[in-house]
Each structure stands twice: as C-alpha cells, then as structure tokens.
Amino acid sequence: MQSIDTLISARWIIPVNDARETLENHSIAIDQGVIVAILPNAKAAQEYQASHSIDLGDQALIPGFVNTHGHAAMAIFRGMADDLELMTWLNDHVFPAENKWVDYDLVRDGTELATAEMLRSGTTTFSDNYFFPDASAESVLKAGMRAQLCFPTIDFPTAWGAGPDEHIDNGLKVMATYAGHSHIKVNFGPHAPYTCSDEPLLRIKALAEEHGVGIQMHVHETQVEVDGELERRGQRPIRRLKDLGLLSPNFQAVHMTALSEEDINDIVETGAHVMHCPESNLKLASGFCPVHELQKRGVNVALGTDGAASNNDLDMLGEMRTAAMLAKAVSGDATALSAYDAIKMATLNGAKALGWDKEIGSLEVGKRADITAIALNDLESQPIYDPVSHIVYASTRDQVTNVWVDGKQLLNNRELTTLDKNTIIETAKQWRDKIVKG
C-alpha cells in the first residue's frame, strides 16, 4: 500500500472535466498537496494508507470555487448604501467613504472578513481589486487561500496614491514582493475606461507585457457608461481598449453588459476573458451580460460576486444559481448555461481566466488539492436524481461543510481552522461603530 497524507471519500465527485463526469462512491488521494489518484472507494482502501482518512458519506466533492472578481475589503461597507443606481452609489457614497476610511488596517480587516465568508461558502481562490494589496495579501496568506490581487489605477487621487503614476508605482512594489508566489498573483487593475485616460493605460499595457501578468478592468458595466464614452470620445469603450492594445488573452473584462455585435467580435478576436457578476449587476440595475451568446462564440466566461457593498454577499453557490437562471431568461433559451456548465463557470473557467488552470479549477491527478465538500443528505436535497443539478439549483452555502487548499483543511465541518470567527465578527462591529460615528 502507498502511504499518502489524506484520503477523502464521498458519495459523489464532480471533477469538472471534458467528459462531464459525475463519479459515484469514489475517493480522492492527496499527497503533499497534490491529487495523486481519483478511484473507487473500495480500490482506494486497498491501494492507499493515509495519515488522515475522511469519509463524508452523502456529500459531493467539487473543485473549490474561483471567485474571479470582487473588492474583498468592501465587506466592511456591506449594506452601507443600498438601493441606488451605479453612478450615485459610486460618486456619492463609495468614493467618499473610501477617501475617508480606507487605509492598510481597514483593507487587512475587511479582507479577513471576506476570506472567512468565502471559505464558508466554498471558495478557495478569488480575484480582488482594491487599494493596499499588500494588506490583502496578509489576510489571504493567514487564511491559506489563493488570490489574484489587482491593484487599482484611477485618474484621480485616492487613499492609496495621488494619481495613476503613484498607483502604478506602489503596485509594482507589491508585485515584486510576491513574484513567483504559489498563492498570490499581483496584476494590474485599472478601474474603468471612464476613469482611466490613455497615458496610464498605455503604461499599464507595456508593464503587463514586461512582467508577464494580466489586467483586470470594469468594462461596459452599464449602457450609461457606454453612451457617455461614445459622447466623450466618439468610440465604444471596448474598441478603445482594443485600439490601445490592452485586449488580449491576458485581459479580464468585468461585467460586460450593453454589448453590441461589434463588441463581441472584438472580445472573440482578441481572446479576452469575461468576468460575469450577475447579482451585483441586477442589484445596481446595470444590465445583462449575454453569457449564452458569448459562450457560443467561444469566449471564456467566468463568475464573480463583485464586492459585498454591491452584492451583498460573497456566495458563489447563490451567484451560480442566479447566473444559470439569468442566462436562460436573457437568451430566451432554457438550455442556456446548464447546471454542469454553471459549475464549470464557477471553477475551471475562473481558473483559466486567472491563468491558474494548470494547477486548480478541476479535480484531476496532478493538480493541487483545492476541494469543496457540499452536503446533500438533508431533507431539502431529497430526492437526488442528479447531484450537479442539486448543487446549482437547490443548494445553499450553509451546506458547504469542508474546504481544502493544497490538501490543507481550511474548513472542518463548518468551522474555520485558520481564522477566528468570533474575533473577525468583533472587529467588523468595531469598524461599523467607527464609521457610523464619523
């Protein structure tokens, strides 16, 4: 028998592979953080001697969710300015709050609150776009997760810098600190076409190519944005970004509502990825991303929650269900974004968009053991004809029981193993009191 670190057995394993398999009564063998085998339970018991054997019974194992867009520290602002349209929300509430309150400590504490929530929702990897990415990195590493940290660049002063050049220079320092890190990637995060002029965008393009990193940007978030850019520049935002040379397989376009045929053609031609944030878009009445049409054209569409200030949660199970249903309504096609494709959007597609698909995003031999377990044994999950369908259409985040990253258990029967839940709650309350008092 081969000695390994961990053997996890469950009723179902959903690898998220080209065969679109659902394996029943199988086990995952893990050694030194890597999946070394996926095989029937009986065969696993014969072939492997594990230091830790875990039998999860009627649960399903899936790849850990990859949340491809958010602003983790804004969990501190959850519920602060609801029921407003995007520009009012941004200009009258979010930007002023950030200018007054955002610093290293808020970002560290807000990100820790977000990582705890994401782990308890089954997310193992996320992409963040916020100030003080070095503070975010501190919280990510404490939690044991993976993260792509996109430092923002914007034309006006912020708490993190006097303008775009200082934003870029500060970000490059963080990028150098985490170059080659297994759990942290640092990318460029210019805010949006309407807040970034050409000169910093051209500098970002050159630096991204020099350092071999990606660019994530809010693009075509609303029709108002597109109309404003047409009036101001005489050009649709996506075409402007294409003409500047930013669109490429290393470009991650967030939101992508209000798309014309020309816009879709530009995305297809350049190989850019699309980060779909359906619940945030719905709450802010921002519009609808044509997911079905993009996927039919071969565009890689991944899933994100956006920040807790505009969602208001970081729940990828809920986001996945909304995405699947919305795709059907927007396209008028009940076959659009099937349950299996929805799980793929929330896992492997996200890993591909972040450039991590060789390591994570699916449960395959040789990949890192980033795994989420979902309980399907209670009344609300009965009867089960198809566990994939149940996960997408009938499961909630409180059914997430266990989470592993690199084979290390970060959630054990709903309890966080690397973070102190009570301390995080108390810290969040202290920030609320401080903000309310002004």
pLDDT value for 311: 94
Distance CA 86, CA 284 (A): 6
Select from 303, 284, 293, 245 the least CA-distant residue to 265.
293
Q: With bands split at pLDDT 50, 70 and 90, how would you rate the model's confidence at 89? A: confident
Over residues 340-362, the mean pLDDT reads 98
User: For position 306, what pLDDT does the model report?
Assistant: 97
User: What is the value of pTM for the model shown?
Assistant: 0.97
Q: How far is residue 184's CA from residue 24's CA, in Å, rounded to a whole number?
A: 34
More confident residue, 438 or 393: 393
What's the sign of the alpha-carbon dihedral 281, 213, 94, 145? positive
**Residue 85: band (very low, low, confident or very high) from pLDDT cuts 50, 70, 90:** confident
pLDDT at 90 over 90: no
- The model's pLDDT over 244-267, given as tens digits with 9 standing for 90+, comes to 999 999 999 999 999 999 999 999
Name the one residue in this structure whose structure tokens are 């504490």: 109
Mean pLDDT, to the nearest integer, of 404-433?
A: 98
Comparing 46-50, 93-97, 275-279, 390-394, the range with the smallest average pLDDT is 93-97
pLDDT band at residue 404 using 50, 70 and 90 as cut-offs: very high
Mean pLDDT taken over the chain = 97
Tell me, what's the pLDDT at 86?
A: 83
pLDDT computed for residue 74 by the predictor: 95
List the beta bridge partners of residue 61.
Answer: 13, 373
Give, as one character, the DSSP assignment of residue 341: H
For 37, 103, 151, 171, the CA distances from 160, given in Å and listed in that order, are: 46, 8, 10, 10
DSSP H or E stretch at residue 228:
helix 223-233
Q: What does the pLDDT read at residue 42? A: 96
Q: What is the DSSP string of 362-385?
A: S--TTSB--EEEEE--SGGG-S-S
The mean per-residue pLDDT over the stretch 413-431 comes to 98
What stretches of 5-58 show up as alpha helix (H) in DSSP?
Answer: 41-47
Domains of the chain from N-terminus onward: 2-63+368-416 (2.30.40.10), 65-353 (3.20.20.140)
pLDDT for 248: 98
> Is pLDDT above 90 for 338?
yes
- pLDDT of residue 99 exceeding 90: no
- The SS3 of residue 345 is helix
- 216: helix, strand or coil: strand
Give the pLDDT band of residue 94 (cuts 50, 70, 90): confident
Q: Measure CA 281 to chain center.
A: 15
Res 95 pLDDT > 90: no
- pLDDT tens per residue across span 75-84: 999 998 899 8
CA distances from 323 to 30, 216, 278 (A): 32, 20, 6
Q: List, edge to edge, every strand of the sheet that includes 251-255.
A: 65-67, 123-129, 146-153, 184-190, 215-219, 251-255, 273-276, 301-303
Mean pLDDT of 90-98: 88
Q: Where are the alpha helices (DSSP H) in 48-132?
A: 86-89, 95-101, 104-119
**Which pLDDT belongs to residue 84?**
87
Cα 304 → chain centroid: 5
pLDDT beyond 90 at 87? no
Cα–Cα dist 147/138, whole Å: 11
| H or E element in which residue 348 lies | helix 348-353
Residue range 216-220: mean pLDDT, rounded: 98
Please state the rounded mean pLDDT for residues 51-77: 97
pLDDT on residue 320: 98
In one letter, which amino acid is 206? A
* Cross-strand bridge partners of residue 168: none
What's the pLDDT tens digit per position in 136-195?
Answer: 999 999 999 999 999 999 999 998 999 999 999 999 999 999 999 999 999 999 999 999
